[in-house]
Structure 1
Amino acid sequence: MKQDIYIRIKAFDCSLLEKCIREFIDQLKQFNADLSGPIALPRKDSKFTVNRSPHVDKKSREQFEMRISKRLIIVHNPTSTMMKMLADLSFSAGVEVDLKVKEVNI
């Protein structure tokens, strides 16, 4: 059995996300990692509408939008040093990282 690590990276700012992914891939390439990605996942858009004033003029509203960009990186056959490096990684504020280890049957 071999393992794959699925790394899902999310951020509000797309340029910050791309910068973090470049740094992340550069660190993994130092270990000669077998990578797939970054794979662009669908962006999640959320819109919020609120009243401008709570008491007067109910037709006057303001809209806000939140966009979350996501990328997926798959590391095939990670070594123990790669696993330790992945556990110790820290990213800048506004970037969220999810790690999942899956065993693959061949």
Structure 2
Amino acid sequence: MPTKIKRYTVLKSPHINKDSREQFEMRIHARMLDIVAATPETVDSLTKLDLAPEVNVEVRAMK
């Protein structure tokens, strides 16, 4: 999955010097795991992962 990049450009000064700008970017990395033969233990271990609060994990069951 490709990395999504969001770029923001803001003026450094609120009044003059439009040529003076600052750029910020946010990179969003996404990964996907395909588990072919999931057992109840596998699903339990995936839902009980201890990750940082800013890491979003989504578990979906596909047929």
1:54-103 alpha-carbon deviations (Å, 9 max, x no partner): 11212211111111122111111211121112111121344221211111
Higher strand share: 1
Higher helix share: 1
Q: Distance in 2 between matches of 1:46 and 1:97?
A: 21
Between Structure 1 and Structure 2, whose CA radius of gyration is higher?
2
1:4-41 alpha-carbon deviations (Å, 9 max, x no partner): xxxxxxxxxxxxxxxxxxxxxxxxxxxxxxxxxxxxx1
**TM-score, normalised via structure 1 length:** 0.53
- In structure 1, the partner of 2:44 is 84
- State the SS of the aligned residue for 1:73: coil
Identical counterparts, % of pairs? 37
Unmatched runs of 5 consecutive residues or more in structure 1: 1-40
Superposed displacement of residue 46, structure 1: 0.9
Q: Which has the higher contact order (CA 8 A, sep 6+)?
A: 1
Unmatched runs of 5 consecutive residues or more in structure 2: none
Q: For the aligned residues, what is the CA RMSD?
A: 1.4
**TM-score, normalised via structure 2 length:** 0.82
